[in-house]
Amino acid sequence: METLKVGIREFRTHLPHYLLETGQPVAVTRHGETIGYFIPSRESKTADDIEILKTVAAHLDSLLAAKGISEEELVSEFKKRRLGQFQ
């Protein structure tokens, strides 16, 4: 995988892009000298991943509606169980 070379100002200005979208290592430079590297720990989400998440969300919505459960009730129950697990 090829490493991108970007200046420190460019890296700082577009940090979300480099952290979440590029999916490849970035060599951060200052005055042409490499001062550090950013190596992503995971791949960025693809359009397919996003479509799958949308499909799953729609399915969850239909299941909640069929059972008469609101999102607020679901979140509340989740918080109760999570807190009970860690107490």
- Report the 3 state secondary structure along the chain: CCCEEEEHHHHHHCHHHHHHCCCCCEEEEECCEEEEEECCCCCCCCHHHHHHHHHHHHHHHHHHHHHCCCHHHHHHHHHHHHHHHHC
Q: Looking at the structure, do residues 53 and 30 belong to the same domain, yes or no?
A: no
Share of the chain above pLDDT 90, in %: 52
**Which residue range is the domain that position 32 belongs to?**
4-38
Q: Report CA-CA distances (Å) from 12 to 9, 22, 36, 73, 74.
A: 5, 14, 13, 40, 38
Q: Looking at the structure, do residues 9 and 26 belong to the same domain, yes or no?
A: yes
- Residue 1: how many CB atoms within 10 A of its CB? 8
Q: Looking at the structure, do residues 59 and 28 belong to the same domain, yes or no?
A: no
Number of domains in the chain: 2
Question: Does the pLDDT value for residue 87 go beyond 60?
Answer: no
* Average confidence (pLDDT) over 7-25: 89
Question: Does the pLDDT value for residue 84 go beyond 90?
Answer: no
Question: Does the pLDDT value for residue 58 go beyond 60?
Answer: yes
